[in-house]
């Protein structure tokens, strides 16, 4: 099968989560179009960026991890160290293996590090102005042949690509949270993204032990176009008194076999993020069926953003119900 919707299955070489191979970069699948990729830049070392850096380094790639301030770089490296220790304990790795992975990650604050990279993955906060600035700068310093990918959840790849002089080499590489565990990479093609860039990005995902799925650039792509309206509908159901939060989550867990209920998932993702993605769907598709639920708006206005603020649909922390 070719074209959007195509799924490449990584299963022949997929190890247990967090246990990628240790030999040549991305050993396992024989690389063809991505064989030259040895060093990868990850720009933004937060929730997603540190996970992305971890999986590249665990698969044998050298990683340049760039964040805005030295303390953020340190925080990202410390998080990766902690996460790798946890994997090592679980998988029975020796200390040397963890050290070797960490030694492949070089942290810094200068985007100049991208000069030595064949692929850059951007994972800065979900604000178009910021992405525009970063893509302009990346385009100026990255080698002419390098591919620049964005981990954006909802911003148009076509729009991001348009700020560069290489729109055919710009693509969405949408990892899922937590990156070392989740096997999907949603590969988002902008209007100008070339087949060569798409093939390289898919092959790189396979070399990480992930399963790439190719989709076209439309608001919310596939993942959030389907997930967010479900979460939004759960908010409507709660607001209209159809059922309690526990009942809504239990129906979806036990009845639909979802690992967590939509309201629990919204708390995990962050209600502000959910609202901003609903706004992208509503603005971008212009259909009233995507209007954000007023309860979701109200909770975001109150600062009840979910787990990260201790309160969302559930309350977290001491004496919590979450």
Ligand X SMILES: NC(=O)c1ccc[n+]([C@@H]2O[C@H](COP(=O)([O-])OP(=O)(O)OC[C@H]3O[C@@H](n4cnc5c(N)ncnc54)[C@H](O)[C@@H]3O)[C@@H](O)[C@H]2O)c1
Q: Where on the chain is the footprint of ligand X (CB under 6 A)? A: 43-49, 66-68, 72, 123-126, 134, 151-153, 177, 269
**Which residue among 122, 186, 203, 214 is the active-site one?**
186
Query: Among residues 68 and 140, whose Cβ is nearest to ligand X?
Result: 68
Torsion of CA 207, 180, 278, 304, to 10 degrees: -170
How many C-beta atoms surround the C-beta of residue 238 within 10 A? 21
Catalytic residue among 64, 83, 154, 174: 174
Q: In angstroms, what is the minimal distance from the CB of 178 to ligand X?
A: 8
Q: Which residue, 31 or 262, has its beta carbon nearer to ligand X? A: 262
User: 36 or 127, CB closer to ligand X?
Assistant: 127
Residue 224 annotated among the catalytic residues of the structure: yes
The count of other CB atoms within 10 Å of the CB of residue 136 is 12
Rounded to an integer, what distance in angstroms lies between the CA atom of residue 228 and that of residue 220?
A: 9
Active site residue 258: no
Q: Could you tell me the smallest distance in angstroms from the CB atom of residue 130 to ligand X?
A: 6
CB of residue 64 to ligand X, shortest distance in Å? 12
By beta-carbon proximity to ligand X, the closer residue of 68 and 181 is: 68
**Angle at 134 (CA atoms; ends 129, 137), nearest 5 degrees:** 130
Q: Count the neighbouring beta carbons within 10 Å of the beta carbon of residue 250.
A: 13
Question: Is 153 one of the catalytic residues?
Answer: yes
Could you tell me the smallest distance in angstroms from the CB atom of residue 37 to ligand X? Answer: 21
Question: Which residue's C-beta sits nearest to ligand X?
Answer: 46
Residue among 207, 214, 176, 215 at smallest CA distance from 10: 207
Exactly one of 34, 50, 150, 153 is catalytic; which is it? 153
CA-CA distance, 272 to 269, in Å (whole number)?
A: 9
Nearer to ligand X, 237 or 265 (CB): 265
Tokens of 178: 């937590």
Query: Which residue, chain included where needed, has tokens 């679980």?
Result: 90
- What's the distance, CA 246 to chain centroid? 28
Give the shortest CB-27-to-ligand X separation in angstroms: 26
The catalytic position among 50, 83, 154, 224 is: 224
Rounded Cα gap, residues 83 and 81, in angstroms: 6
What is the rounded CA–CA span in Å between residue 119 and residue 133?
18
Catalytic residues: 153, 174, 186, 224
């Amino acid at each position: 099968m070719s074209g959007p919707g195509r799924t490449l299955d990584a299963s022949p070489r997929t190890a247990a989560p967090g246990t990628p191979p240790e030999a040549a970069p991305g050993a396992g699948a024989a690389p063809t179009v991505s064989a030259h990729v040895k060093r990868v830049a990850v720009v933004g070392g937060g929730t997603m960026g540190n996970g992305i850096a971890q999986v590249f380094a665990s698969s044998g790639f050298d990683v340049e991890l760039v964040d805005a301030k030295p303390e953020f770089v340190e925080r990202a490296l410390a998080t990766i160290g902690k996460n790798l220790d946890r994997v090592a304990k679980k998988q029975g790795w020796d200390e040397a293996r963890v050290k070797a992975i960490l030694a492949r990650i070089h942290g810094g604050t200068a985007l100049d590090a991208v000069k030595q990279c064949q692929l850059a993955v951007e994972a800065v906060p979900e604000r178009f102005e910021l992405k525009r600035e970063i893509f302009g700068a990346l385009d100026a310093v990255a080698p002419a042949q390098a591919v620049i990918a964005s981990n954006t959840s909802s911003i148009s790849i076509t729009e991001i690509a348009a700020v560069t002089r290489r729109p055919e080499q710009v693509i969405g590489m949408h990892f899922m949270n937590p990156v070392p565990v989740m096997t999907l990479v949603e590969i988002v093609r902008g209007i100008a993204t070339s087949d060569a860039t798409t093939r390289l990005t898919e092959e790189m995902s396979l070399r990480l032990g992930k399963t790439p799925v190719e989709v076209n650039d439309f608001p919310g792509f596939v993942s959030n176009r389907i997930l967010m309206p479900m979460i939004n509908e759960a908010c409507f159901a709660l607001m209209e008194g159809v059922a309690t939060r526990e009942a809504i989550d239990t129906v979806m867990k036990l009845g639909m076999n979802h690992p967590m209920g939509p309201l629990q998932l919204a708390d995990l993702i962050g209600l502000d993020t959910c609202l901003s993605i609903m706004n992208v769907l509503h603005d971008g598709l212009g259909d009233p069926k995507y209007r954000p639920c007023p309860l979701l708006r109200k909770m975001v206005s109150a600062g009840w953003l979910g787990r990260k603020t201790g309160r969302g649909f559930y309350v977290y922390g001491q004496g919590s119900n979450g």
